Amino acid sequence: MSFERTHRGLSLIELIVFIVIVSVALAGVLSVLNLTTSRSADPMIRKQMLAIAEGLMDEVAAHPFTWCDPDDPAAATATSAAGCATPEALGAEGGESRGSAVTPFDNVNDYNGLAGITTGITGTAIPPGYTAAISVAQNALGPGAAAVPAAASLLITVTVSFGGENLIVEGYRTRYAPNVLP
Ligand SMILES: [Ca+2]
Ligand SMILES: [Ca+2]
């Protein structure tokens, strides 16, 4: 047995072949990584959209859900829309607008149809490029006989957009305390 033969190192040719094979393999792996990154949504943008949507959802759901407009004297006593001089209907009542100092939105349903939102709950601007829209609709909640009827359950849908991307958050508000005013 020859000592030189069993312990000889790599030849230059073998080394070059090794480097070429590793380079080709690495290029393949990197190109897959590149493709995955470029086609996945930017996580920062998604997180920002979610934060905006959740903030708006909290703002809407924190409002009263009464039969009468809360400005109506019967708002705290009416047990149906028939008992109101100004019943609460889907959408804003006359003169109401979001964040108004005089006649602000005063019910969950007033937010229905609000679009092009660029401010958060505190009135401060949300980051540029993001916009939001809100819809509110009667929607029965729960299965069969146990369902909360549509008249006592509102589905709130907040849609936040950035570029061509939309993120939708849905939540329910039920009439658990119809006559309670803030
Ligand atoms: Ca109202
Ligand atoms: Ca309304």
Q: What tens digit of pLDDT does each residue of 41-87 get?
A: 678 899 999 999 999 999 999 998 888 888 888 888 888 888 899 89
Mark whether 125 and 139 lie in a shared domain.
yes
Cα(137) to centroid(ligand 1), Å: 15
CA of 90 from ligand 2 middle (Å) equals 5
pLDDT tens digits for range 107-118 = 999 999 999 999
Same domain, 170 and 97: yes
Q: Cα–Cα distance between 150 and 179 in angstroms, integer?
A: 18
CA of 94 to the centre of ligand 1 (A): 8
Same domain for 98 and 128, yes or no, is: yes
Counting ligands in written order, the one closest to the CA of 95 is: 1
- Reported as a pLDDT band with limits 50, 70 and 90, residue 145 is confident
Cβ contact 167:158 at 8 Å: no
* C-alpha dihedral (158, 163, 165, 166), degrees to nearest 10: 10
Ranges of H-type helices in 40-153? 43-61
Nearest ligand, CA 72: 1
Are both 83 and 149 inside the same structural domain? yes
49 Cα–ligand 2 center, Å: 26
> Is the residue at 180 inside a domain?
no
Indicate whether 179 belongs to any domain: no
Residues 75 and 15 in one domain: no
Q: Quick one: 105 and 141 in the same domain?
A: yes
Q: Say yes or no: 139 and 70 in one domain.
A: yes
Q: Please classify residue 64 by burial: count the beta carbons closer than 10 Å to its beta carbon, then call 0-12 exposed, 13-18 middle and 19+ buried.
A: buried
The pLDDT value recorded for residue 114 is: 95
Structure-token pair, residue 60: 């809407």
* 54 within some domain: yes
Q: Total domain count for the chain?
A: 2
Distance in Å, CA 65 to ligand 2 centroid: 9
Containing structural domain, residue 51: 43-174
